Amino acid sequence: MKTKPVQPNHPRTPKLASILVPTDFSRHATRALQYAVPLAQQVGGKITLLHAIDMPVVPAQLGALMTDEARLTAAAQSGLDQLAARLVPNPLLGPTVVRLGRAYEEISRAAKSRKIDLIVLAMRGRTELQRALLGSTAERVVRHASCPVLTVRPVRGRKMPAAGSKDLAALINRILVPVDFSAHSRAVVRYAAGLARTTQAGLALLHVVEPPPLGVFAGHEAESTRYITGAHTTARQELARLATSMCGDLEVEVLVREGHPAQGIALAARDWRSDLIVLSTRGLTGLRHIVLGSTAEAVVRHAPCPVLTVGRT
């Protein structure tokens, strides 16, 4: 189902003037940087490269630690400079930053102190253990960052654009936006619509209808069917209204799925061949807020495409 509003209300391009790309110098982190470069080209942003050195403090070895700190910092700075020279066109290059501390904490702190508009982060690192650690880092950054976070995972059969490319067509053709009808998810729709306009991508709004708890309609299959059918109909109507009010004159597809939210989002992204999911990390309050947070992290972990999580707009 597609919907198009009668009176255009053009969504604004999201502010993406400052883009932070953390790196551990792995090929996966390099892919994230290759993703960030054409995005920065498209929106006129600058890229800040960051590497965090996590050094355990052992009091008996403080002297040696200080020496290692200086050596490792110099090596990391040299690595960042070489990476920037190889992959980031000079007009797009912001600062290169080396920080000491736990990766997710330093990424979050740097984003806040430098007023970063977007973090672009890889989902995998160098070894199997490091991949698990970096995955955990990505999820923690999603949870704690003060700005939107775009997590990039490898996609088979898809090459990253060459350095200096301004073309996002190979990256973002179809943007999927899950909606739970909370106030914040509505705001995220407007954010995603602005991004879709900028990248000239197709846009779809998705709502996943959760089945009623076991036992609620036990022995009453007809009532259960009416409940699900009604929920689907209501969701489609609300999504169409949302598209009209938030997406300007963009043509928007409306999708409704049934199941657990995270699983439904991942399956819809696969079926609709999404290039990007734009997802709210802030829904309602209390327990439902916690559930939404865990849903966002599960989508980041299992989605078949990059995920842009938005905590504030």
pLDDT-wise least confident of 38-42, 53-57, 129-133, 241-245? 129-133
Q: Does pLDDT of 85 surpass 50?
A: yes
Asked if residues 145 and 89 have their Cβ atoms less than 8 Å apart, the reply is no
What's the pLDDT score for residue 294? Answer: 73
Domains and CATH numbers, the chain: 18-152 (3.40.50.620), 172-310 (3.40.50.620)
Side chain identity, residue 262: A
113 against 123, higher pLDDT: 113
Cα gap 17→162, rounded to integer Å: 21
**Weakest-pLDDT range from 179-193, 262-276, 299-313:** 299-313
- The Cα–Cα gap between 99 and 45 comes to 22
Asked if the model's pLDDT at residue 204 lies above 60, the reply is: yes
Specify the pLDDT at position 297. Answer: 80
User: What is the three-state SS of the chain?
Assistant: CEECCCCCCCCCCCCCCEEEEECCCCHHHHHHHHHHHHHHHHHCCEEEEEEEECCCCCHHHHHHHHHHHHHHHHHHHHHHHHHHHHHCCHHHEEEEEEEECCHHHHHHHHHHHCCCCEEEEECCCCCHHHHHHHHHHHHHHHHHCCCCEEEECCCCCCCCCCCCCCCCCCCCCEEEEECCCCHHHHHHHHHHHHHHHHHCCEEEEEEEECCCCCCCCCCCHHHHHHHHHHHHHHHHHHHHHHHHHHCCCCCEEEEEEECCHHHHHHHHHHHCCCCEEEEECCCCCHHHHHHHHHHHHHHHHHCCCCEEEECCC
pLDDT at 164 over 80: no
239-286 confidence digits (pLDDT tens) = 999 999 999 889 999 999 998 899 999 999 999 999 999 998 864 334
Q: How much is the average pLDDT of 149-159?
A: 72
In this predicted structure, the answer to whether residue 45 has a pLDDT above a threshold of 70 is yes
Mean pLDDT of 231-241: 94
* pLDDT of the residue at 138: 83
Give the percent of the chain with pLDDT over 70.
76
Q: What is the pLDDT of residue 155?
A: 59
Model confidence at 309: pLDDT above 90: yes
What is the pLDDT confidence band of residue 158, given thresholds at 50, 70 and 90?
low
Q: What is the pLDDT of residue 284?
A: 37
Mean pLDDT for all residues in the chain: 81
**With bands split at pLDDT 50, 70 and 90, how would you rate the model's confidence at 87?**
very high
The pTM of the full predicted model, rounded to 2 decimals, is 0.83
Mean pLDDT of 281-302: 62
* Greater model confidence, 92 or 126: 92
Does pLDDT of 132 surpass 50? no
